[in-house]
Amino acid sequence: MAGALPAGVDPRRASLRYFNLFRLFLAGLFLVAGREFGLGGDGPLVFRVVAIAYLGAVLALGFPDAARRLGIERVIVLQVLVDVLALAAIMWVSGGYRSGMPVLMMVVLAGAGLVAEGRMVPFFAAVATIAVLIENAWRLAAGGQPVEFLQVGIFCAGFFGIAFVARLLALRAQANASLALERGAALANQQAVNERIIRDMQDGVIVADVLGRVRQANPQAAVLLGVDGAGQGGLEGRALAAIDAAFGEVLARGDAEPGRLLRLGPGGRLLRCRTVGGEPGSAAAGDTLIYLTDFEDVQRQMQQLKLAALGRLTASMAHEIRNPLSAVTHAAELLREEKRGEMQGRLVRIINDNARRIERMIRDVLALGRREQALPEALPLAAFVAGLIEERVFRDAAEQAIYVVDIEPALTFAIDRAHLQQILDNLLSNARRHCSGRAGAIRLHAEALAGERVVLHVADDGPGLDAATRTHLFEPFFTTHAKGTGLGLYIARELAEANDATLELGDEGPGADFRLTARSRP
């Protein structure tokens, strides 16, 4: 704030300093040009003595050493009393109240109201009033000169009025100063906390101006970008495009593509880059806030979680595989003893069904291990879906009427071809199992979203899913199908996440609506 006092400066001392400058100017003016202003006409020698004494007192009491020795309260009392007595003496030898000295006394009392404390302010006004009344009473008694006591009384009333008003203003100013100091201290503490939080954040934070230069950055940003903060002068003041040319595209896109993965900086580390524009109308309206997250570290953590989940998965698989293996073993034992051909055929079917069930389970688990090998490409979505449905209805052309496809030819999906085929094959199998089987029972449609993303809907007209089923739908080994493994949707979501896509179930309604959302291009 303009004109604010430095931290630690007492407002009273600052006011007293300016007040002493006024006294010094006034004493010098009396001494140098007092006679030219018509002062001291009734006693030139007395006037000169008072002017010299007043200047000496101002100099003696105005130095900081006097406040240290006597205390600021005593110095203020002595200065105001000296002012009032000196001005009363000059008024005595200059023709009385017409000399203008009462007006200067009002100025002195106004200053005293700003720097004095408590009851001393009305005391000074009382001293000034007594001095003026004594001077006028002496003039009336000694010389018989007429005195206009009405005007003198008005001056004396003005002394008290100005003293009280100045004191009230001083109290208001002190209260505002105290509040400003408290808020300043709270703001400083908040800024210190914010700086500590930003400095210790695991994410990098960069504030860039409209020209793409770094205004502020925390140390973690330099670490993630592979920039030596000490050796290369840190990030402040540097152009982001000079650190990595990809920052130009990041600043140009802004919030249009949140959470984009890029390899940035000399270190070439894989970072998730998220940008936030400045608040409109604020001082930082043209700035851009960039958050950098170490995605390699996130991937390591995800890998650890996946390994832990895989451990639980294999333990569950041991239990799940044991059941079909028991059936296969039992069927083989019965096959060895059975002589009739009809029974042999039944036992062989049991063996084949359970063997295929084990094979599907193993294939799904192996797909988990291939999720990190995603090779995204911009696939024409309409053509890919049409080809996949054609393969499904190859053996039965009547099945073609069940599927309705409404996808614009221009839409593309940035995803691994094999992963998309496995995801859609699982979704279409579930939809075919639960739909009514009528024409148009399964509908596939897609739409473009903001941020260059596309959502593909796979909806059926089946009975839908209850709340309990929706809660556990994507958990491994959860299934509502007697012959299902419970890994299909779990694997589908894992493959979607491996391609920076999302698979989720839509809102409750007639049938099920699975939504696969991915980028339109790599």
How many angstroms separate the CA atoms of 493 and 448, rounded? 21
C-alpha angle 117-122-127 in degrees, rounded to nearest 5: 115
Phi and psi (nearest 5°) for 256?
A: -65, -30
327: in domain: no
How many angstroms separate the CA atoms of 282 and 271, rounded? 29
How many angstroms separate the CA atoms of 222 and 192, rounded? 21
| CATH code: domain of residue 493 | 3.30.565.10
Phi and psi (nearest 5°) for 273?
A: -110, 120
- pLDDT computed for residue 4 by the predictor: 45
Instruction: For residue 158, give the nearest of 196, 204, 107, 201 by alpha carbon.
Output: 107
List, in sequence order, the alpha helices (H) in 288-340. 295-337
Domain's final residue, options 183, 214, 246: 183
- pLDDT computed for residue 443 by the predictor: 93
328: in domain: no
Same domain, 163 and 231: no
How many angstroms separate the CA atoms of 427 and 431, rounded? 6
Here the tokens at position 401 are: 């009427």
Same domain, 435 and 478: yes
475: in domain: yes
pTM of the model: 0.40
Same domain, 147 and 252: no
Same domain, 211 and 178: no
Could you tell me the strand order of the sheet in which 453-460 lies?
403-406, 442-449, 453-460, 513-519, 502-505
Question: How many H helices and E strands in the chain?
Answer: 16, 12
Specify whether the CB–CB gap between 392 and 428 falls below 8 A. Answer: yes
What are the CA-CA distances from residue 123 to residues 128, 173, 413 (Å)?
9, 21, 88
How many angstroms separate the CA atoms of 73 and 115, rounded? 9
Specify whether the CB–CB gap between 379 and 412 falls below 8 A. Answer: yes
What are the CA-CA distances from residue 220 to residues 208, 230, 271 (Å)?
16, 13, 12
What are the CA-CA distances from residue 194 to residues 190, 199, 294 (Å)?
6, 8, 21
Burial string for 416-450 (b: 16+ CB within 10 Å, else e) reads beebbbbbbebbbebbbebbeeeeebbbbebeeee
101: in domain: yes
How many angstroms separate the CA atoms of 116 and 16, rounded? 9
| CATH code: domain of residue 253 | 3.30.450.20
Residue 520, SS3 per DSSP: coil
Residue 448, SS3 per DSSP: strand
Domain's final residue, options 183, 212, 242: 183
Same domain, 279 and 415: no
Count of the separate structural domains present in the chain: 3
- pLDDT computed for residue 469 by the predictor: 81
- pLDDT computed for residue 445 by the predictor: 93
Same domain, 271 and 175: no
Same domain, 29 and 118: yes
How many angstroms separate the CA atoms of 438 and 95, rounded? 119
345: in domain: no
Same domain, 512 and 422: yes
Tens place of pLDDT per residue across the chain (522 aa): 334 444 444 566 777 788 888 888 888 888 888 777 778 777 888 888 888 888 888 888 877 777 778 877 788 888 888 888 888 888 888 877 777 788 888 888 888 777 777 678 788 888 888 888 887 777 777 765 656 677 777 878 888 888 888 778 777 877 887 888 888 888 888 888 877 877 777 788 888 888 888 888 888 888 888 886 544 446 788 888 888 877 877 777 765 555 667 778 777 777 888 888 766 655 556 788 888 888 777 767 776 676 567 666 666 666 667 677 777 777 777 776 666 666 777 777 777 777 777 776 666 666 555 555 667 888 999 999 999 898 888 777 778 889 999 999 999 989 988 888 889 988 998 888 889 888 889 999 999 887 688 999 999 988 888 877 887 787 776 777 666 666 778 888 888 888 888 898 887 777 889 999 998 887
Same domain, 138 and 287: no
Same domain, 175 and 207: no
259: in domain: yes
120: in domain: yes
Same domain, 70 and 156: yes
397: in domain: yes
Instruction: For residue 51, give the nearest of 72, 37, 66 by alpha carbon.
Output: 37
What residue type is 181 in one-letter code? Answer: L
- pLDDT computed for residue 143 by the predictor: 65
By residue range, what is the domain housing residue 130?
11-183
Same domain, 229 and 107: no
Domain's final residue, options 295, 319, 338: 295
